[in-house]
Structure 1
């Protein structure tokens, strides 16, 4: 069994490779869509809409970075702004129908890709991997 430092180095290498593949896949979904813009659109949709400040806090990004990404999503016709009903000065970001369609198609592509990658894995291995990823994600 490898020592802890070797295992951590392997995890770091594999997660970095995973992130690179994710960035590449995002660009395949839409030529003008980065992993950041895709992730922002996904979060906004998951939450049923939210403010830019919520996006910045969630991803630990500067508000100006989020503003640029939101503007890019708007120009692509994937995102729209509505007045916040709880605070007329604020805006809620919402996916457009085109944005929702793109996300549905992307999620199906990802599901098929993951299913193919795990074909040779047992159900127990897949469940264990899912548990480990959830546990790792919960540490933040």
Structure 2
């Protein structure tokens, strides 16, 4: 049974390496100077404003890193901050209209690539892959599964 976990480790290592390359490409499509992790931050903000501390916890990165990345996104006019209605001392980071426009543009292009790459797959297989990846990601949500960078 150990071979199954060795196979999983090998495939995840390849997947992570390729995912970093894809993330870097997507960030560059938003803006040539963005760090690879910036696109994931922008995509996470599509669902609405979030506190910087929530984002840091979600991505399992340190506060200094999230602060630096959010500052870069603010400088580009892709995100801004507004007071948190639940706690006036805190701020929510949210996408600007320009940020939303750029994320949507990159998302559409990436979607088209996935459709092309997975054209030979049965839609049920694609759904199962998405379900299993979601389940795997839940294991690592909120700070588990890796160190802070």
Q: What displacement does 1:9 show? A: 4.0
RMSD: 2.0
> Taking structure 2 as the reference length, what is the TM-score of the superposition?
0.81
Partner of 2:127: 127
**Unpaired segments ≥5 residues, structure 1:** none
Question: Larger C-alpha radius of gyration, 1 or 2?
Answer: 1
Gaps in structure 2 of 5+ consecutive residues: 141-149
How far apart are residue 19 of structure 1 and its match? 1.8
1:112 match:
112
Separation in 2, partners of 1:6, 1:85? 48
Correspondence list, 1:1-140, <5 A: 3-29=3-29, 30-46=31-47, 48-140=48-140
Q: TM-score, normalised by structure 1?
A: 0.86
Question: How many residues are paired up?
Answer: 138
Q: Is this contact kept in 2: 1:26–1:34, CA < 8 A?
A: no
Write the deviation string for residues 2-55 of structure 1: whole angstroms up to 9, x where unpaired. Answer: x42552243133213322332332243120222211111211222x10111111
Residues 51 and 92 in structure 1, CA contact (< 8 A), matched pair in contact too: yes
The one-character-per-residue Cα deviations of 1:74-97 (angstroms, maximum 9, x if unpaired) are 000101111222222211111111
Q: Is the 2:24–2:37 contact (alpha carbons within 8 Å) kept by the matching residues of 1?
A: no
